[in-house]
Structure 1
Amino acid sequence: MDINLLKDTLIEHFNDTVVNQYDSHMDSVPEIAKEAIKKFDDMKYEMASPSKIVFYYRGREVGGFNGQNIMTNKKEGTRIARDKYKTEQYLMEKKVATTKSFIYDANQFEEAKKELEKHTMPFVIKPYNLSSGKGVVMNVNPENVSEAWLNCLKAYEGSTDGAQVIIQPQLPGIEARFLVINEHFSSAILRVPANITGDGNSTIRELIKCKNHLRKQNPHLKKFMIPLNLQLESYLTDIDLNLDSVVQKNRVIFFTSVSNVALGGDTLEISHLVSDNLKRLAESAVEAVPHLKSAGVDIMFSRFNDEEAKVLELNHAANLVMHYYPWKGTPKQPIHDYINDIYEEAQREKKSFGRLKKFIRKRLNN
């Protein structure tokens, strides 16, 4: 993540944008889906479990959600998407711009270090099958790889039997989540590491308290406060600041280099800024994986019209609620879009079946 480029992007496009406020407090996929389906008289739903909602068109099952996973994704597609390394192989096979990663078992540290020593660029280390930014370590090189490797394995929170680690070239630019629903671009969210912007009067502690108060009013971000802990204090010490420092007006201070919403990061909706080329790249990434129709696609780019952007990974169970409640920017409605899509598809199938029955009846009468 190019922090300077990110700061410039925030200043240019979001510095004068107000923080969103929301009337709705629906914070789960089933809640939103139940509301969205009300507009269709001939569609019903059934709660198969507390997190699984199934849709029916005139009594026929047509789709649904199982947690964050959209049920038009088949098991084979989700199995591939869970494997970051295998996904990368499919992307390369279909000539979708992506990275070239290395994968190692938890006990292959020495082999991984030797590979890093062959390169001058920094790398990213991440667990191969975890999500939400868990265990991700940036700016890894032969000097700090030992510490990074241990931090990565800690994310498994217990036994590392069978654990694997991916080492990926750290690309220049900024990273955004592109959401693709039924093979069509839906929304793009720039996930920004936890931060505050100085006002010239308030301390960092006061700015964090104020920002956390606003986050508590966001149906999605209310679960993810900026933590006041030793790690944050240590980070501030490294840049000659502390919680009682007053930051000059408009100066942005980041508390981590990882764009993890769960650690207090921001979500900025950027669909209006990204080019059709980047949207098509996201769609192509989903198309490259067999039996996958919907996913979150993480893309690294240097400009909003970047033609050399690369796909980092896919998430078959992408956070859908996040796109309803961005910190800043115009909210989107991917769950509504999905339900509209399956309704229109069901209607088309009904009309086609009706025409087929009419054709058969006509032939039989002749």
Structure 2
Amino acid sequence: MDLESALAYMKEHGFRGRVNNALVISRALDRGVTVRPDRKGRVQLRKGRRKWLFHNGWSNLNHRLVTRCATQKEITSRLLRARGLPAPENAYFGADDIERAWAWAEPVLPVVVKPSDLSKGDAVHVDIKDRGAFEGAFNVVVRRSGGALIEVLGRGVEHRITTIDGEIAAATKRLPAHVVGDGITTIEGLVALKNQQRESSGNPVHKLLKLDAVAIEQMTRQGLTSTSVPESGVHVALRATSNVSTGGDAVDATDDLRPDEAEIVRQAARAIPGLRIAGFDVLLPRGSESSGPSIIEVNTAPMISMHHYPWTGQPRDVADRILDAMFVE
């Protein structure tokens, strides 16, 4: 069953969600698995005596406790470090603890200021280098989340590596929303051209770029405006975070992982009891300023559609791998 047919099936039968759910429904129906919505509109899958739930990357394949723990990012990071795996030093501070938070952050600048319990790059502030920027970021985060996680900034290229039962199913290099100069066109024009590519590609995952206040602030940091004409080959970032939901590019990198990098991720997946499906956000050394690999987050409801529909590179059928895990022959 193709994606459009699966989306139509979802609408007809009362399922919630979009592409992630449609991919699993499509693969399940092709296998003869019974698929129904539960009372919350989630995907209920049954074959023989086996019965599972799936919704937007979440699955009850994962133990309930590990799902709860993974939402607290500092706990996950501490657990990984205790297992001898590379994860950044961080600390959580309440809304009234800004002075203590700054005292922790100042000796290790630059830092990341982010919520401990939100996803999709929501309210994440990176490369914070001074007191003014720190206070601004801290106040934004605590308004959203009630507290803030302060983390040592790692250097490298962010990758999302999805694992199933301790093995790597796919890897994606995630690039922040950006355009590449041609020496002729303004940034505004480059955004319009890339958005035309987005619309004509039929890719259901990648979002249009926005020249909003966040993009303007990011350009200002680079000494640019929307009417600037970047030189040929120059990358102009429109976001600091690399989430596909904010216009980032997902580029397949499954075959680009080095053996030691892949082994670190496999060890991390196996180090967390009850974790069967996960998306590891990992900084990998891919440049002169990079440090070693660092696991910055563990997501127990990974977005699988980015692997099926990369902006460039080979599609990876992660949904099929999930069905393999659910219904072992």
TM-based fold match above 0.5: yes
Structure 1: which amino acid aligns with 2:203?
A: N
Structure 1 residue 49: Cα displacement: 4.3
Structure 1 residue 340: Cα displacement: 2.4
Tell me, yes or no, if structure 1 residue 97 matches structure 2 residue 119. Answer: no
Q: Is the 8 A contact 1:47 1:53 kept in 2?
A: yes
Q: Could you list the runs of 4 or more consecutive aligned residues of structure 1 that deviate by over 6 angstroms after TM superposition? A: none
Structure 1: which amino acid aligns with 2:312?
A: K
Change over 3 Å in CA distance of 1:116–1:84 after alignment to 2: same
SS of structure 2 residue aligned to 1:272? helix
Segment of structure 1 superposing worse, 235-244 or 264-273: 235-244
Structure 1 residue 62: Cα displacement: 3.8
Q: Is the 8 A contact 2:218 2:240 kept in 1?
A: no
Alignment of 1:201-216 (within 5 A): 201-216=184-199
Change over 3 Å in CA distance of 1:237–1:126 after alignment to 2: closer
Structure 1 residue 335: Cα displacement: 0.9
Tell me, yes or no, if structure 1 residue 341 matches structure 2 residue 329. Answer: no
How far apart, in 2, do the equivalents of 1:300 and 1:291 lie? 24
Q: Which residue of 2 aligns with 1:139?
A: 127
Q: Is the 8 A contact 1:76 1:290 kept in 2?
A: no
Structure 1 residue 234: Cα displacement: 4.2
Tell me, yes or no, if structure 1 residue 109 matches structure 2 residue 124. Answer: no
- Select the residue among 172, 176, 187 that pairs with 2:170: 187
- Select the residue among 108, 123, 148 that pairs with 2:111: 123
Structure 2: which amino acid aligns with 1:243?
A: S
- Select the residue among 139, 161, 182 that pairs with 1:199: 182
Structure (1 or 2) with the larger CA radius of gyration:
1
- Select the residue among 295, 319, 334 that pairs with 2:303: 319
How far apart, in 2, do the equivalents of 1:188 and 1:51 lie? 29
Q: TM-score, normalised by structure 1?
A: 0.79
Change over 3 Å in CA distance of 1:307–1:283 after alignment to 2: farther
Structure 1 residue 139: Cα displacement: 1.6
Q: Which residue of 1 aligns with 2:70?
A: 81
Structure 2: which amino acid aligns with 1:46?
A: R
How far apart, in 1, do the equivalents of 2:242 and 2:95 lie? 25
Structure 1: which amino acid aligns with 2:35?
A: Y
- Select the residue among 29, 39, 43 that pairs with 1:38: 29
How far apart, in 2, do the equivalents of 1:269 and 1:183 lie? 20
Q: Is the 8 A contact 1:81 1:289 kept in 2?
A: no
Residue identity (%): 23
Structure 1 residue 189: Cα displacement: 1.1
How far apart, in 2, do the equivalents of 1:237 and 1:141 lie? 16
How far apart, in 2, do the equivalents of 1:229 and 1:340 lie? 42
Structure 1 residue 131: Cα displacement: 0.6
Structure 2: which amino acid aligns with 1:47?
A: P
Q: Is the 8 A contact 2:24 2:320 kept in 1?
A: yes
Unaligned stretches of 5+ in structure 2? 8-17
- Select the residue among 149, 173, 182 that pairs with 1:166: 149
Q: Is the 8 A contact 1:185 1:280 kept in 2?
A: no
Tell me, yes or no, if structure 1 residue 29 matches structure 2 residue 29. Answer: no
How far apart, in 1, do the equivalents of 2:50 and 2:56 lie? 17
Q: Is the 8 A contact 1:123 1:138 kept in 2?
A: yes
Q: Is the 8 A contact 2:19 2:204 kept in 1?
A: no
Q: Which residue of 2 aligns with 1:273?
A: 256
Tell me, yes or no, if structure 1 residue 56 matches structure 2 residue 46. Answer: yes
Over residues 263-282 of structure 1, what are the superposed CA-to-partner deviations in whole Å (9 max), with x where a residue is unaligned?
A: 21111111111113222222
Structure 1 residue 142: Cα displacement: 4.4
Structure 2: which amino acid aligns with 1:48?
A: D
Q: Is the 8 A contact 1:277 1:307 kept in 2?
A: no
How far apart, in 2, do the equivalents of 1:316 and 1:30 lie? 15
Structure 1 residue 288: Cα displacement: 1.8
Q: Is the 8 A contact 1:187 1:323 kept in 2?
A: yes
Q: Is the 8 A contact 2:282 2:296 kept in 1?
A: yes
Q: Which residue of 2 aligns with 1:309?
A: 293
Q: Is the 8 A contact 1:30 1:51 kept in 2?
A: no
C-alpha RMSD of matched pairs (Å):
2.2
Segment of structure 1 superposing worse, 78-87 or 63-72: 63-72
How far apart, in 1, do the equivalents of 2:204 and 2:272 lie? 32
Structure 2: which amino acid aligns with 1:36?
A: R
SS of structure 2 residue aligned to 1:145? helix
How many positions carry a matched residue from both structures? 311
How far apart, in 2, do the equivalents of 1:200 and 1:307 lie? 32
Structure 1 residue 296: Cα displacement: 0.6
